[in-house]
């Protein structure tokens, strides 16, 4: 055991720090409950420890120890359902829900982070064991950078242009650049919507982006991000203030209309640009021959 | 489990002269003038947590979304 002491401690520490680093409070991914932190840090520590002992076990020719990694994978799958359940349970209380697609994406991210922690500690322990601790520290930093890169998904700004737009009423129908949003009956409400509302148009850059933005789950995720950053004036009996994203069927452009608590167009454009592209919504018709042929 | 109506017309609000434009199994509120129509619709909307839509022919419907 003594001769592996440095390897195990160093790589467990590196993995744990990696988990801590990936747990930075994030308005989209994490609501930031203290107990949530404890849960994820403990599971991250277990992942780090498992990654750390794998190499020493192999060196000792304890091949069965590797099966523990399989056990770990099973454990971490639980994290996904745990996150899914807890975020799903909170949905009823959200005025602007995340939507199932977004929750699924978040849950997957939480599972994947633990595998990345194992990767960090595995690489660190291998480098420490065979090359010495300075290389171990180097390996930790390199794998951390790699996992940081892997965790960074595309954002709406990558696949589409977000431009400010002017909402107008045609009779009782609210429109944004010709895209119908909703029918509002009360004249006072129409005035208020025009006064306090903000609208942007999301213009997909290509047919892949257009297909991605078709997904209603993706649109709900954008609405949730926008509403959680700018706030919303919506209440249970003020349905007119619900952030809505509607599509122009002919061009695939998406119009977003919302009534934010803080009316600031620049921030809204930036918030929409930074909304994540959901893995489950991503489509790529242009990757097929037929899709390319149909596109022109 | 709570059961809720989705996308259902909860009530109809019309002026007296438009009474014939709406019918069916939904409560119809008949009002004297435009002002009263709007006020009644607004009250119903906040009580029933629905949204007021204008059909364009003087008929207001309250819809649960």
pLDDT of residue B41 exceeding 80 = yes
Contacts of B5 in chain A (CB under 8 A): none
Q: Tokens representing A177?
A: 């650049």
Contacts of A242 in chain B (CB under 8 A): 65
User: How does residue A269 score in pLDDT terms, banded at 50, 70 and 90?
Assistant: very high
Count of pairs with CB atoms under 8 A, one residue in A, one in B: 38
Q: Give the model confidence (pLDDT) of A4-33 as tens digits.
A: 888 889 999 999 998 888 877 554 555 556
User: How does residue B3 score in pLDDT terms, banded at 50, 70 and 90?
Assistant: low
Which of A152, A181, A215 is the endpoint of a domain?
A152
- Taking the CA of residue B21 and the nearest CA in chain A, the distance in Å comes to 17
Compare all CA atoms of chain B with the CA of A234 and give the residue at the minimum distance. Answer: B49
Q: How many domains does chain A have?
A: 2
Do A238 and A213 fall within a single domain?
Answer: yes
CB B61 within 8 A of CB B7: no
| CB-based contact B52 A171, cutoff 8 Å | no
User: CA-CA distance, B14 to B59, in Å (whole number)?
Assistant: 5
Do A54 and A112 fall within a single domain?
Answer: yes
| CB-based contact A186 B49, cutoff 8 Å | no
Do A193 and A279 fall within a single domain?
Answer: yes
- Please name the helix (run of DSSP H) or strand (run of DSSP E) that holds residue B42, with its range, or none: helix B34-48
Query: Containing domain of residue A62, as a range?
Result: 2-152
User: CA-CA distance, A176 to A193, in Å (whole number)?
Assistant: 12
DSSP labels, chain A: -GGGHHHHHHHHHHHHHHHHHHT---TTT----HHHHHHHHHHHHHHHHHHHHHHHHHHTT-GGGGHHHHHHHHHHHHHHHHHHHHHHHHGGG-SS---HHHHHHHHHHHHHHHHHHHHHHHHHHHHHHHH-HHHHHHHHHHHHHHHHHHH---BHHHHEEEEEE-EEEETTEEEETTEEEEE---HHHHHHHHHH-EEEEEEESSHHHHHHHH-HHHHHHHHHHHHHHH----BTTBGGGS-EEEE-TTT--EEEEE--SS--HHHHHHHHHHSBPPTTT---GGGSHHHHHHH-
Do A147 and A191 fall within a single domain?
Answer: no
**Residue B5 confidence (pLDDT):** 61
Q: Complex ipTM, two decimals?
A: 0.84
Do A92 and A162 fall within a single domain?
Answer: no
Do A60 and A147 fall within a single domain?
Answer: yes
Domain chopping of chain B, boundaries:
1-24+41-65
Beginning with the edge strand found earlier in the chain, give each strand of the sheet holding B8-15 in spatial order.
B28-31, B8-15, B60-64, B51-54
Do A217 and A270 fall within a single domain?
Answer: yes
Do A43 and A165 fall within a single domain?
Answer: no
Which of A103, A134, A152 is the endpoint of a domain?
A152
| CB-based contact A237 B42, cutoff 8 Å | no
User: CA-CA distance, A119 to A282, in Å (whole number)?
Assistant: 26
In percent, how much of chain A has pLDDT > 90? Answer: 40
Q: Give the model confidence (pLDDT) of A40-97 as tens digits.
A: 888 889 889 988 888 888 888 888 877 877 888 888 888 888 888 888 888 888 888 8
Which of A152, A178, A203 is the endpoint of a domain?
A152
Compare all CA atoms of chain A with the CA of B49 and give the residue at the minimum distance. Answer: A237
Contacts of A169 in chain B (CB under 8 A): none
Contacts of A171 in chain B (CB under 8 A): 54, 56
């Amino acid at each position: 055991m003594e001769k592996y002491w440095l390897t195990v401690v160093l790589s467990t520490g590196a993995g744990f720090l990696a988990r801590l680093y990936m747990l930075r409070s994030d308005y989209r991914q994490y609501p930031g409950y203290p107990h949530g932190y404890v849960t994820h840090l403990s599971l991250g520590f277990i992942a780090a420890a498992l990654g750390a002992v794998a190499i020493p076990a192999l060196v000792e020719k304890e091949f069965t120890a590797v099966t523990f990694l399989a056990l770990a994978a099973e454990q971490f799958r639980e994290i996904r359902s745990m996150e899914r359940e807890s975020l799903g349970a909170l949905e009823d209380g959200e005025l602007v829900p995340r939507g199932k697609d977004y929750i699924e994406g978040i849950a997957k991210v939480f599972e994947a982070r633990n595998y990345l922690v194992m990767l960090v500690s595995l690489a660190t322990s291998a480098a420490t064991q065979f090359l010495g601790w300075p290389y171990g520290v180097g390996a930790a930093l390199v794998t951390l950078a790699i996992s940081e890169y892997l965790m960074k998904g595309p954002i709406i700004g990558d696949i589409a242009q977000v431009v400010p737009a002017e909402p107008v009423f045609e009779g009782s129908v609210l429109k944004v650049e010709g895209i119908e949003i909703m029918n509002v009956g009360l004249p006072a409400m129409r005035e208020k919507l025009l006064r306090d509302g903000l609208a942007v148009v999301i213009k997909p850059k290509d047919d892949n982006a257009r297909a991605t933005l078709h997904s209603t789950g993706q649109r709900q995720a954008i609405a949730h991000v926008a509403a959680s950053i700018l706030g919303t004036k919506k209440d249970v009996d003020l349905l007119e203030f619900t952030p809505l994203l509607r599509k122009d069927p002919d061009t695939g452009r998406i119009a977003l209309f919302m009534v934010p608590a803080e009316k600031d167009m620049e921030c809204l454009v930036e918030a929409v640009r930074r909304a994540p592209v959901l893995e489950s919504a991503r489509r790529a018709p242009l990757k097929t021959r037929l899709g390319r042929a149909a596109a022109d | 489990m709570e059961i809720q109506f989705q996308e259902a017309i909860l009530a109809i609000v019309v002026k007296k002269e438009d009474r014939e434009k709406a019918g069916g199994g939904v409560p119809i509120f008949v009002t004297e003038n435009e002002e009263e129509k709007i006020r009644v619709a607004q009250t119903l909307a906040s009580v029933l947590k629905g949204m007021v839509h204008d059909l364009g022919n003087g008929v207001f419907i309250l819809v649960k979304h």
